[in-house]
Amino acid sequence: MQMLRKFMGLAILTAGALVAAAIFLLQPTPEPRPSQAPPPPRVPVIEVAPSTLSLPVHSQGTVAPRREIDLVAEVAGRVKVVADNFVSGEFFTAGEPLVQVDPINYELALVRARGRVAEAEQLLATEQGRARQAKREWRDLGNAEANALFLREPQLGAARAALASAKADVRQAELDLAKTRIGAPFDGRIRETYVNLGQYVSPGSRVARVFDSQVVEVRLPLTDAQVALLDLPLGYRAAPGEGPRVTLRGTVAGQAREWQGRIARTEASLETRTRMYQVIAEVHQSENMNQPLVVGLFVRAQIDGRPIADVLQVPRTALYKHQTLVLVGADNIVRFAEAQVLDSNENLAWVRVPLRAGDRVATGRQGYLQPGVTVEPVIDAEARP
């Protein structure tokens, strides 16, 4: 029995060895396959063409009057009359008297000055008569050379000077009388008043604070890149009716409003704290009669830019590392190009970059690409600007 078990075990081992040998000898020989290169990566691209564009420049500022002055009294006296519109916020016209100082003292001074003129004229006429008589007397003496004192020439000169002085006093009295009526040399609006009826004022006393309501200004800060889009040098001053157009937008009484103006000038130096340019937009109220621009209003400004050639408009996603474009050439080979970014917003960017025939701009996967790599470009219909 024990011998039978040994024989069966040996038989099983022998059979297993024969089966393993058969499997090893009869297995098929693998045939070598040719190696295949991985397919080129698919890259979304857009086709672009440079064009000439005028890019608007955006800024913001606060409306201020172009002229704002203090009206002051030039003569002393008590305020006798104030105009009905002499209150804060009211409008007035150029030369309109807003306040009048009691003119009685100045009217009397004018009467006295005119009296001195009459006296000086009488004195001059008397001296002229005496001078003519002296000439006749000297001629009757038969002497060719006359004495100036005898001919009353100094007295005649003094009389003429006295008359000129008296007339100057009349002119001064007339000016003082005119100064009792206080107004502004332009159409405007009253910001604040400082005197009232019956109040005594002296020369130099402030009467009111007024500003020109016909032209207002907005001081707009711009970066160096923004100024380049406008081509405004330091010290620029536009001729009347010229200068880049500017559209101002703001909210008045809950309603969105819009005004048209022009860039009138630039300030002569940079803002030392922010290192920004300051340009001045002027708005003529006569051109916006339906909705005058209110002084002190905060507004947003859009300035028309100058035409710039060879500009590409691309999606913002096409910018790689802020100022690089990944270009796919006509041979589907990638190259990187440094771009001059002129302007951008959250969706689009406007750039200048040297292009070759057939170049397309990659709009995605730029971080996985290297210059010289061959790719499979796929038109990105959603990213087309």
The tokens of 209 are what?
């604070």
Measured distance between the N- and C-terminal CA atoms of the chain, rounded to whole angstroms = 94
The tokens of 287 are what?
């051109």
Q: What is the pLDDT of residue 75?
A: 95
Distances (CA, A) of 87 to 98, 202, 277: 10, 21, 38
Torsion angles phi and psi, residue 143, rounded to 5: -100, 130
CB of 269 closer than 8 Å to CB of 30: no
Q: What is the pLDDT of residue 140?
A: 61
Where on the phi/psi map is residue 63: left (φ > 0), alpha (ψ -120 to 50), or beta?
A: beta
Q: Which residues of the chain carry a pLDDT beneath 70? A: 1-37, 134, 137-151, 289, 383-385
Edge to edge, the sheet with strand 77-82 lists: 181-182, 99-101, 77-82, 200-201
Torsion of CA 315, 317, 322, 328, to 10 degrees: -80
CB of 210 closer than 8 Å to CB of 68: yes
215-255 confidence digits (pLDDT tens): 999 999 998 888 888 877 777 787 777 888 999 999 988 88
